[in-house]
Structure 1
Amino acid sequence: MAPRRITEAQAVQALMERGARPLEAFPGTQHPWRCQCLTCGEVHTPRYSDVVNKGSGVCRGTCRSRKISNRLRRDGTQAAATMQRWGWLPLEPYPGAAKPWRSRCAQCAAVKIKRLSHVRNGHARCNHCAGRALGAVAAAEIMTSAELAPLTAYPGQQMRPWLSRCLRCGHLGTPTLASVRLRGHQCWACKAAAFPVRHPLDEQQAVACMITHGLEPLEPYSGDVNAPWRSRCTTCDSDSAPVPGSIPGHHRACPVCARLDISPVEPGYLYLAVHDDLRALGWAVAQGRHRLHSIGRSWRPLARWHLAAAQDAWAFGRHLKQQLRGNGCPPVPKADAAPDMAWAQTVSLEHVSTGGVVRIVEDVAGPAC
């Protein structure tokens, strides 16, 4: 039986009923269709099949952000009560469900950075009480024994990326201490063998694999290495749903970053650029001069670090982002961000100076060219 053909009138009516007004002729059920959200007025390009058959929202911008915000919003008193119920005493006002919240363990008095969303999902145990806490010296010894030389201080959590240099090949990476403790040497430049996924991965192994490849899981692990896992890229903040079993062996698992057409093993550079009108600073990785020309006249190049491999520049970029966000320096407001630079790779100069950003990179990469 032949599939039912959707006419343009039927397609337009279906999108109008779901809160969108088409701005062009119907291209087909499987092609992007330029539409305007009737709620916020933003223009998006959803697919008819995703909207009608899969139930995906038409608006992937403001409306989606509002829905997520409303779903995660909690009253500060209720949030504090939840933390106390799980054995944590908040030390500062409630920042939001998914944001770091400095708290003290009610049992051992250790101060930790927790997130209400993690605590509510069952990740509320104190690693000091469980005997899993590691000091900076012990953590550095584990990395050194695995032939990895840390270039920065211990980030304080085993699941956080740690900028390190491989003592075998000299390339940089950001492995987590958890992955190093679990599998030993973790350099994806000299270790061509794929991450062993022939056997099922437990949750700790799977999360370590995702974080090593620059992805932050947004939902619990299903236990199936062949099932899509909704995650967010730690470089560009784009959401995707990769399959854990297909990630190993690929330097960048994020489809947005992969489209940059940059070879991780060839020479590349990390550069900083300033937008004077927005009072913003941005950073990115490139090979050759075409990228600097493509960012537009609004961005003024500030500094550049040439490296033997582009993957080393990516590692320095992730370290820079981690340091800035950890010090409370937010990106440029998304509504004001210029399209020439990825929004997630920017920082407002209202919270940090250009010299301060340059020093963060120079501390690990040396003087700029």
Structure 2
Amino acid sequence: MTNQILVSIFVLSVAIISYHYIIYPVLLSFINITRYSLPKYFHRNYIPSLKDEALPSIHIIIPAYNEERYIKDRILNLAIIDYPEDRFKISVISDGSEDDTYRAALNAASLPECKHLNIDIHALEENIGKIAIINQFASSQNSDIVVLSDASAITSINCLLIIAAYFQQDKRIGAICGNYQFVPAQTSGEQAYWNYQRRIKIQESMLGSTIGLHGAFYAFKSELFQTIPHDTINDDVILPLSIIRQGFKCLYDPRLITIELESSSDQMNFQRRIRIAAGNLQQSIRNMDLLLPRHRRFAFNFFSGKFLRPFIPLLLICSFISSILLATEYLFFLSVIFILLALTTSTLYYLLIDSQPDSKIAKTLFYIVAGHIAMTLGVFSYAFHSPHKRWRKIKSSPRLEEPRT
């Protein structure tokens, strides 16, 4: 009887893990999907057009904490965006920065090439956190669309025209995000992961709605904004979920390109993934109502793509322990291989934090195992009520001082 229970635990754990990572993406490819058409947007080429009057007004909000290094590039990038000058405005908020972010933003805004921008620059004396800034500035403006952007992100010059085209084409669309890339190039493991995630987001959009948006740059209808709980960890998931709950769609467009300028060391990536994992558990617990049948296709997306994710570490532990207890040669052999791989990789990770294996396969395995270690730490951290801290910028390692995560 005991063996039957252990076998059931092992099989169920492995089945759920396989479903989340493998079967769900395959199902998305084979489900009878109604493909959404990428909206066509007109090319202004910086020349005013009669169509400009019909474009929605847009408010770009940029929370900035210790972003002195990147804020000038961000403002210069916004200065060349192809969109009517009187139809978008920018708010840069230095959130109690300990460097000279505020002064750098003022200097950038005063440059001749930025004089045409409708830009407000705020300096908060104390660090209140990104969520507080979103709640304050997203709810206190009267634009049609709100865009949230990182200070270290660079966007394509047609980004606002693409966003406007979506909201004009389909009134059921509530939020939109796009392709997220890094400078310098990612490791092979990280690149493989992001390619995997991009395919899923495209397929989820075709099915009705993608779940999480890329926090570096995303847009939503201002009328749909609802105050985010102050202790929210992943705003780029919680906010779109609130929009979907109101009956609107969140879509992904690969033409909407955002480039992350700030380099990140392995240590920074690891800390970021711990935080995201804690947020994954938080959003699964707080949004269980989205699993109800009335949400139909999105309930399937949410359960398969997001809800299961924070429980993967527990399932991995259960599958390993149950296979050890069963002590059958085959299962025990697989378990030993798995634990040796995890221990070896994690040991190298902590001892040689900035070192990466040379082999592409080894790098991918390194990234996967390190990610599951981070996921386990993040989930247990949140489960045992570790206090959620306001965002703090992790300093780049000295070797990466030229350009984040």
TM-score (norm 2): 0.28
TM-score (norm 1): 0.30
Q: Answer 1 or 2: which has greater helix percent.
A: 2
